[in-house]
């Protein structure tokens, strides 16, 4: 097992790049070797991080600060092209979600990384969140019995400034929107907890902004395991029912603590118990002779290690994958799977028909067949 530090470059100095950089700097096993960003804010951001600035990946690769690995923190539509440039040079990559903005490009990236023998991870850092880890442990040990259903919510109100300046790309239907920016996190976590999603249906929420990108949806999921789920998504509504507010993970978004009584953004229902996340309240009829609605439910709180910081854990994991051959928590394939589900949600919003999540081409054919049948029945 090697102890050689991992030299990591950050590609993109917007909102998330400096957050990754802070975790790299605080970890004794990793070194922040550079920040790459051609925008005017690139140089001052690099200076604030006490690292070297480069205007392009090619400039970085030809410099004395050539890294072992890099983290892609740029607008969604650039993820694949920048990752491919690094992979061609043998640089290991952790790419922020979504892995791509199209299924074809995502597959190209995954295949190229395999061919080149380069590690490709996707930045679904919430897999390292202590609340989610505690929930996953309870499910996997059978604490809920057979899982039947899940309810999920991600509702927040984004300010107009979020869509201005360097964030203007978030207005675009192609690379922005609440599905690719926010729902993709939830899809990854739900599949992490409950297994692959195999079909979706969706209805859009009403539009309140003059952007191309969608603002929200009501979604129905079916999982391969037989679990079914509902999800409400919106980025125009004030609400404590979202991952950021519930866990306090993002320091920019105030934490709604358990004692404030907001409750969970996920509710997972099983045959033996139900669990609210992230308050980690478990409801059951444990130790009751008759497990029936006529009995009072038992309420208990699960233990959680709140000291763990997901971004810090992800950087240590990146080191372990590259230096010591650890199995990636979220592979390129898994990141692509989340992208495929989100693509299915987008198509379901347009078709107003169920879409099967069985690979892009097959799902497209299935959607067209069902649309044709729907039209025939309407005649």
| pLDDT one-digit tens code per residue, 89-106 | 999 999 999 999 899 999
Average pLDDT over residues 304-322: 94
State the pLDDT at residue 379.
Answer: 42
Q: Is the pLDDT of residue 342 over 90?
A: yes
Q: Which of 202-211, 215-224, 287-296 has the lowest mean pLDDT?
A: 287-296
Residue ranges, CATH 3.30.360.10, the chain: 130-301
Q: Which of 7-11, 152-156, 249-253, 309-313 has the lowest mean pLDDT?
A: 249-253
Q: Which of 41-50, 167-176, 309-318, 336-345 has the lowest mean pLDDT?
A: 167-176
Tens digit of each residue's pLDDT (9 = 90 or more) over 110-148: 999 999 999 999 999 999 999 999 999 999 999 999 999
Distance CA 310, CA 330 (A): 13
Q: Report how far residue 256's alpha carbon sits from residue 262's, in angstroms, rounded to the nearest whole number.
A: 7
What is the per-residue pLDDT for 359? Answer: 62
pLDDT tier for residue 362 given thresholds of 50, 70 and 90: very low
Please, where in the chain does CATH 3.40.50.720 lie?
6-126+310-331
Cβ atoms 81, 93 nearer than 8 A: no
CATH classification of 6-126+310-331 is 3.40.50.720, yes or no? yes
Tell me whether strands 281-284 and 298-301 are parallel, antiparallel or unpaired.
Answer: antiparallel
Tokens encoding 371: 């649309």
Class of domain 130-301: alpha beta
Q: What is the mean pLDDT of residues 203-219?
A: 94
pTM confidence score? 0.86
Average pLDDT, stretch 199-225? 95
User: Of 265, 250, 194, nearest to 225 (Cα)?
Assistant: 194
b/e map of 96-112 (b: 16 or more CB within 10 Å)?
A: bbbbbbbbebbbebbeb
Question: Residue 276's pLDDT is what?
Answer: 97
């Amino acid at each position: 097992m090697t102890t050689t530090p991992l030299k990591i470059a950050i590609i993109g100095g917007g909102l998330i790049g400096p957050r990754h950089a802070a975790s790299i700097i605080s970890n004794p096993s990793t070194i922040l070797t550079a920040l790459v960003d051609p925008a005017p804010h690139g140089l001052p951001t690099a200076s604030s991080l006490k690292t070297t600035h480069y205007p392009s990946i090619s400039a970085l690769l030809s410099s004395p600060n050539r890294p072992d690995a890099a983290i892609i923190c740029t607008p969604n539509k650039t993820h694949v092209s920048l990752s491919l440039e690094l992979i061609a040079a043998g640089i290991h990559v952790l790419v922020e979600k979504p892995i791509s903005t199209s299924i074809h490009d995502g597959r190209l990236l995954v295949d190229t990384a395999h061919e080149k023998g380069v590690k490709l991870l996707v930045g679904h850092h919430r897999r390292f969140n202590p609340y989610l880890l505690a929930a996953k442990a309870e499910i996997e040990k059978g604490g809920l019995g057979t899982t039947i259903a899940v309810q999920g919510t991600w509702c927040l109100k984004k300010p107009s400034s979020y869509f201005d300046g360097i964030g203007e790309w978030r207005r675009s239907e192609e690379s922005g929107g609440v599905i690719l920016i926010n729902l993709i996190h939830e899809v990854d976590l739900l599949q992490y907890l409950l297994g692959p999603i195999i079909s979706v249906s969706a209805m859009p929420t009403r539009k309140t902004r003059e952007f191309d990108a969608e603002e929200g949806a009501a979604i129905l999921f079916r999982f391969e395991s037989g679990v079914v789920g509902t999800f409400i998504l919106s980025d125009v509504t004030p609400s404590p029912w979202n991952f950021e507010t519930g866990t306090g993970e993002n320091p920019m978004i105030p934490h709604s603590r358990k004692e404030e009584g907001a409750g969970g953004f996920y509710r997972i229902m099983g045959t033996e118990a139900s669990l609210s996340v992230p308050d980690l309240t478990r409801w059951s009829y444990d130790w009751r002779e008759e497990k029936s609605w006529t009995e009072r439910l038992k309420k208990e709180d699960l233990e959680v290690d709140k000291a763990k910081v997901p971004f810090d854990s992800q950087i240590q994991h990146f080191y372990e994958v590259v230096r010591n051959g650890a199995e990636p928590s979220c592979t390129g394939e898994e990141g692509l799977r989340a992208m495929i589900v989100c693509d299915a949600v987008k198509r379901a919003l347009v078709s107003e028909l169920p879409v099967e999540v069985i690979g892009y081409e097959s799902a497209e054919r299935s959607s067209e067949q069902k649309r044709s049948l729907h039209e025939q029945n309407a005649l």
